[in-house]
Structure formats: C-alpha cells, structure tokens
Amino acid sequence: MTWLITGGAGYIGAHVARSMSDAGERVLALDDLSAGVAGRLPADVPLVRGSSLDAGLLKRVFAEHEVTGVVHLAARKQVAESVAQPARYYQENVGGLGTLLEAVAEAGIRKFVFSSSAAVYGSPDVDLITEDTPCAPVNPYGETKLAGEWLVRAAGRAHGISTVCLRYFNVAGAAAPELADTGVFNIVPMVFDRLARDDAPRIFGDDHPTPDGTCIRDYVHVADLAEAHLAAARRLADLGGDLTVNIGRGVGVSVRELVTVIGEVTGDTRPAVVEARRPGDAPRAVASAERAAGELGWSARRGVREMVESAWRGWLLHHPD
C-alpha cells in the first residue's frame, strides 16, 4: 500500500511519517507548511506542498503516487482560536475533510485513518472515558472533530471505505529533538516558555475535586501516538471495518504533578502560581485504553518523565538561547 499523510510535516504528522516509513510502509506527505516544517520528514518520504482543501491537487497526487490509503491529520487545532474563529474552523476542519473524502471516494481509495480528539467528549464526569461515553464537546474545535467523525463514517458507509477514528488525549514529547513541538500551545512547551522568560508556571485552579485540587489529564507520548497510527493503518489493510478508538495511557496525572516533573527535568523548581479556573475545564479526563489494546494491539510504552525529558531536549535544540 501507499499511504498519503495530510499534515505530514507537522509535529504529529512527521512522527507518523517516520514511524510508518521505519516500519516499511510506503508513505508520502501533503502539507502546506503553514505550521509544518519540511526538514522534519525522513529523506525517503516525499513531500507534496499544498492543501488538502485543493481537490485538483488531491486528484493528481492520488493518481501520480498510486495512493491506496490516507491518514488525515491536517486541521486547525487551537481551542481558543476556534472560539474566536468558529466559521474558519468549520470551513477548514469539516469542509476541508469533505473535499478530501470526495476525492478519496472518486479515486477508489478504501482505507482512511482520521485524526480526532478527546475534545469530542467535552467534560464528562467519569473516572475513565470509554469510546461509548456520550460526546458533548464544549468548544468549536471539539465540535468540528465530532462532525468530522460523523462525516468519515458516513462516507465510509456510502463508498465502502474502511475507517478508523483515533481520539487523541494530551500529546507530549518527541521521538527526536528535531521533531519536537515548536508551538507554545500545549502545557509542556507552555511551561518551558514561562521558565525561559524567567517566570513561574501557571496552574488554572487548585480547588477541583481531585486529590491535589488540580485537573487530572491523560498524557501520551507522541512516539506512542505515531505507533498507534501505524497499528490503525495495518488494521485497515488486514481487516478493514469501521472503528473508533481512544489513544491514551489510561493513567491520570495532575497538572501539579506534571509541573513538578518539568521542574525536576529542567532544574527550575520554582513554585507554580495558581490562577482562577478556566471555564469548561473538566476536573478529570483520562482514557480507557482497552479498545486500543484489543482492536489494534497497541498500548502506550512511554511515561510522563520520558515525555518531558524528550520535549526538553527538543526545546533546547530549537531555543538555544
């Protein structure tokens, strides 16, 4: 098979490209480089510069490279931005997905892996979030991911496309320093950024109903996440079907515990400053990882300290000063 990875030069996309290529899969990347970095890609993974919203480009790429499966990661993904620009998020995340799926169906491609998110669940009051937990997203980003899942499954039924929707929990770390997340949108690089500015980390709320009062989250190493995509692609190649799977460790880590690990790794152990809770923050959001193990034969192998240590090496590479 030949797999096209949309958003393949992004933080997660490049990890997926490397993991699949290292495992012997034929892959190529499509990325407009608005957030991606071409240098992240292995030398044996071709890069097509362009957008997954460009139907003409998709048609040419599918034909020229004889693509037989798609891993779709290209999307806008910042919660605050989605609240400020909901129409843009629906247009790109849902409308763009529709354009891609139409091109996939026309080209006769029958394998599709969709990058979804735990944001589809919203703020459920449960100890472990299973794939059957009701979805009630609380922001436009989560809404577009849930609508995307509906669209993927509908297209699968209509056109005989086998699909897997992967609901990521909180992604961190780097498989190699050059692949590290260069944005400052997720909690680990956000804390690094504050420390680099000689400022204390921020914790939003310490009065949640959790053991230390701070929110509890499920963090998964991006290298483990990449391996989950490989497992999903191979599942589709071997068995087909229609599957929705959580991708997490099934282990909860509080924000205060995470900040403590970051302090130990960086050597900057100044205490965090507690600010008011943010609206919509769930006290606890931890995945049930049983379906991933049973259906994909996948489970996370790396812990939080390895995530932070690998992210720190990447931060130092990209921020030498």
The answer for 280, left when phi > 0, alpha when psi is -120 to 50, beta otherwise, is left
Q: Output the CA angle 77-81-85, nearest 5 degrees.
A: 110
The single-letter code of the amino acid at 213 is G
Q: In the annotation, is 11 catalytic?
A: no
Assigned token pair, 77: 């993904």
- CB count in 10 Å sphere of residue 115: 26
Q: Is the dihedral of CA 141, 281, 244, 46 positive or negative?
A: positive
The residue whose two tokens read 């980390």 is 201
Q: Residue 20 half-sphere exposure, CB side, CA atoms within 13 Å? A: 31
Question: CB–CB of 139/82 below 8 Å?
Answer: yes
Nearest to 73 by CA among 108, 45, 32: 32
Assigned token pair, 181: 């997340």
Task: Say how far apart CA 191 and CA 184 lie, in whole Å.
Answer: 9
Q: Which of 89, 141, 168, 219 is catalytic?
A: 141
Task: Say how far apart CA 220 and CA 269 lie, in whole Å.
Answer: 23
Catalytic residue list: 141
